[in-house]
């Protein structure tokens, strides 16, 4: 079985020897072995058997086994729909949930079912989803998905970390105005050079002042407050919100 763990499955009929493969995965996981080569090899020679072993009724519910099988997601997705695959993996071994979420966020940033995984496995649901989606250039899709799921706190956190107004825009499109104000403020706190007024006006509408005043009240730092005050000509509510107490 050592050879199997190294990815040498020569002469193996995976479907006929599924129980033996399962035993190799289970015992290897118990020992803390690296199972990735085994999953890669299995995915290469028989994706159906690979999916059966990873997600079937007798799949190994061990976080090491589940995390390792993520190297075979191309093969797994060719057999099992992603909307069923990843929740199943995360349910098998909840300790592997964060790793599953990381893969999902990069591969399916716009899928609505990702929000359910975020709620279970992200301490600030939505944050990881957006940050990883941004890495693969899919922030807009992910923001739309998170906004539909009302993951406001995570969106605001990601807006601050990434310094982007896209989460705020997505929340406005979903009519979640208070969350949008928070997300816009976190982004502008981080990056006061962002085109805050043009962006918010373009998605919220031309009567921006009451909304923008809500953003202003959420700002934490002096520099963005001063910059916004300079920009907010003709916006009395916003100026009032920024006035020193």
CB 119 within 8 A of CB 127: no
CB 106 within 8 A of CB 139: no
Output the smallest distance, CB 203 to other proteins, in A.
Answer: 6
Burial of 128 (0-12, 13-18, 19+ CB in 10 A): buried
137 vs 175 by CB, closer to other proteins: 175
84 vs 198 by CB, closer to other proteins: 198
22 vs 173 by CB, closer to other proteins: 173
95 vs 201 by CB, closer to other proteins: 201
Output the smallest distance, CB 233 to other proteins, in A.
Answer: 8
**Residues of the shown chain interacting with other proteins in the complex, contacts defined by CB under 8 A:** 140, 169, 173, 175, 177, 195, 197-199, 201-207, 234
Output the smallest distance, CB 112 to other proteins, in A.
Answer: 18
Output the smallest distance, CB 229 to other proteins, in A.
Answer: 16
| DSSP codes, 89-114 | HHHH-GGGHHHHHHHHHHH-TT-TTH
Output the smallest distance, CB 208 to other proteins, in A.
Answer: 9
Output the smallest distance, CB 94 to other proteins, in A.
Answer: 36
4 vs 204 by CB, closer to other proteins: 204
84 vs 195 by CB, closer to other proteins: 195
């Amino acid at each position: 079985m050592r050879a199997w763990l190294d990815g040498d499955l020569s002469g193996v009929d995976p479907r006929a020897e599924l129980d033996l493969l399962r035993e190799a995965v289970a015992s290897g996981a118990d020992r803390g072995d690296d199972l990735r080569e085994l999953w890669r090899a299995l995915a290469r020679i028989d994706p159906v058997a690979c999916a059966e072993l990873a997600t079937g009724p007798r799949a190994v519910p061990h976080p090491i086994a589940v995390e390792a099988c993520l190297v075979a997601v191309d093969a797994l997705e060719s057999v099992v729909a992603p909307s069923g695959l990843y929740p199943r993996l995360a349910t098998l071994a909840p300790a592997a949930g964060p790793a599953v979420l990381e893969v999902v966020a990069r591969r399916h940033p716009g899928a609505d079912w990702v929000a359910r995984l975020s709620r279970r496995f992200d301490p600030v649901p939505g944050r990881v989803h957006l940050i990883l989606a941004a890495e693969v250039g899919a922030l807009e899709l992910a923001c739309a998905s998170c906004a539909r799921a009302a993951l406001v706190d995570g969106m605001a956190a990601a807006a601050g970390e990434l310094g982007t107004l896209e989460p705020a825009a997505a929340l406005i499109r979903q009519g979640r105005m208070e969350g949008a104000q928070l997300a816009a403020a976190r982004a502008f706190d981080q990056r006061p050079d962002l085109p805050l007024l043009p962006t918010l006006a373009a998605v919220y509408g031309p009567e921006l002042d009451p909304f923008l005043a809500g953003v202003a009240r959420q700002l934490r730092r002096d520099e963005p407050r001063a910059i916004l005050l300079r920009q907010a000509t003709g916006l009395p509510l916003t100026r009032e919100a920024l006035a020193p107490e």
